[in-house]
Amino acid sequence: MSRQPWPRLAVADWTDTRDTLHLWTQIVGKVRMAYAPLLNHWWQVTLYVSPRGLTTGTVHTPAGALDIELDLVDHRLRMRLSTGTEEAFDLRPMSVADFHAQTLAALERLGLRPRIQATPNEVDPAIPFAEDHEHAAYDPQAAHLFWQQLVQADRVLGEFRSHFVGKVSPVHFWGAMDLACTRFSGRPAPEHPGGAPNCGDWVMVEGYSRELSSCGFWPGGGQEGAFYAYAYPQPAGFEAAEVGPEGAFWSTENGQFLLPYEVVADAPDPDAALSRFLHDTYAAAADLGGWDRAALEDDPARWPQHRRG
């Protein structure tokens, strides 16, 4: 259980910064995608919560092992190569076009010229990065608070992940600006119909090629963001499942269960409130979908005698 209070950040107070930061993270994720081999369901395009912000983790490139980090403490974009070479620039109010140009210039100084699709995905309209002078806001305090929200969500999602011994994604940050963790039954899924804005249907077909139960957090769906959970394919009766804690609900508009962030932050035990939501929604998906839960789950504390340092 965390001893730190869950940070408070009203979505309405940072929408412009959120939308700009969203597009910056897509640019960084596309750089990772340019060099990393395809991994289950596009896992090679994601970012991870770090002790200072969001990072690509290690990416192997022709110039050496690279990592790129959006440092939301000192507000810098940092790039490091295994050769010891580094590049960085300040995160400040700037257009997406400026961020895109500075990122590519810094990479070129490192000897890298990644070929990326230079338009965003899953947003509408999808303004090419080099032409986007509309999104240019950056409130460092809001960005820092959002990262602190992600730190808390990452921790509880990671604990939830540890109960599953089947195929399960890392807790990672997607281009749709959500932090997610996905469990898989081990069975193939029906072909996804696609339909995401400015995202090829073939992308969705690969992303949803296996039966899954997914959960996460994104800065929307509530006054301070929301936790979500859904299943694909959605088993009959899923939307009517009993899910806690009080305040969780089925959103017909979004086709998933939602738990407003503020409900978690206001709870006497935020970790327990969020954990219940994660476990209840997964149990509904797995039970109604006929998953082999005995084979897929285990107790993360099953070796207590070896947990001491």
Q: List, for residues 86-145, the tens digit of each pLDDT value.
A: 999 999 999 999 999 999 999 999 999 999 999 999 999 999 999 999 999 999 999 999
**SS3 assignment, position 60:** strand
**SS3 assignment, position 198:** coil
Closest CA to 89 of 103, 72, 68, 108: 103
pLDDT at 71: 98
What are the distances in angstroms from CA 284 to CA 130, 164, 192, 277?
A: 44, 15, 21, 11
The phi, psi pair for 289, rounded to 5°, reads -90, 0
Q: Which of the four pLDDT bands, split at 50, 70 and 90, describes residue 242?
A: very high
What are the distances in angstroms from CA 271 to CA 5, 46, 75, 288?
A: 11, 25, 28, 26
Q: Which residues pair with 181 in a beta bridge?
A: 215
Q: Which of the four pLDDT bands, split at 50, 70 and 90, describes residue 12?
A: very high
Burial annotation 3-13 (CB, 10 A radius, 16+ → b, else e): eeebbebebeb
Alpha helices in the chain (DSSP H): 15-35, 96-109, 140-161, 201-207, 261-266, 270-289, 293-296
pLDDT surpassing 60 at residue 237: yes
180-234 pLDDT tens trace: 999 999 999 999 999 999 999 999 999 999 999 999 999 998 899 999 999 999 9
pLDDT at 305: 76
pTM: 0.96
271-294 pLDDT tens trace: 999 999 999 999 999 999 999 999
